[in-house]
Structure 1
């Protein structure tokens, strides 16, 4: 593993560049005075990704944060999130990133889910994004906060922003998909935004 750059104080346990950017944007206003360069992603350090074999978002977030804190000796923040579809009993859930069989195949995941729901009428297309965000420190502190973004599933993708299932979830109270929202709009209402804003005070305390 590459040593953490001088001045690094917090590591985000993700190799997804979209998530690194999004999490930095969410955490920055909550961490006044923290240099953005002090927050790095696991990929920046060449950190291996642990096996996510938890059955809940919280378990998987803790698995990732624990592994990175142990490997780097730094406070580590991780999240696990996914799409939970009512008519599918909460699936894809923790399997959201590999629903089509290949981890991180956003297009394949989205297309398979749309095909599975092709005959489901609008009134039964309720769904929500869920997120668990975890902080683990080398001293043994562990905190988990969670957030939800409810909505309905569209029948076709809309928008070019966001990632994952964003193009097919229309958040409650919105006429646009999550992929049609600006980053600021999405962060203000998103499951991830809620979870990380709740976690931020604990991160501030850990870095004090």
Structure 2
């Protein structure tokens, strides 16, 4: 089996963000954007020997661009399903201006800064048909934490195949303070950012999580 090249994967992810127009959306030149992201190479390479190649449902790391740099309203349309071209959409039942009020949980202690790296990402398909509250408790027992909206965007931006029929996932790391849990699913051949109730299980909806994060 060919060894996983963490450095090449890092470069691929940076190039993907550049090709999708992230520098311009951030109001930066490509050079400035690459300079901002490049320090994240160090924590990735520091773990290179322990990182495993990506699979359909689990990937070793993600470069995460926060909404402080590129708003979700602009990053969601840059996503597509594997082999498709229809841009991602935001579910209309997010009221106007409400999306920005869904914020990352303080207990995640996310790294400071506009970009960071998340490690050991799992789409959590084992939690399909499990009540989100119960899934959150299960991942917490494993020392893992739920993905945020931005991490979900990073996941399907870099690995479109991660969002698949009957293998969609909730993003429990971002909340409004009520019973709603953001989620990514498929609608009309495109990714859709919506939400589901924390007490309702869905056969097609798991809960994605991360091992840890670094700056």
TM class, shorter-chain normalised?
under 0.3
Using CA pairs under 8 Å that are at least 6 residues apart, name the structure with larger relative contact order, 1 or 2: 2
TM-score by length of 1: 0.26
Q: Which has the larger radius of gyration?
A: 1
Higher helix proportion, which one? Answer: 1
Q: TM-score, normalised by structure 2?
A: 0.26
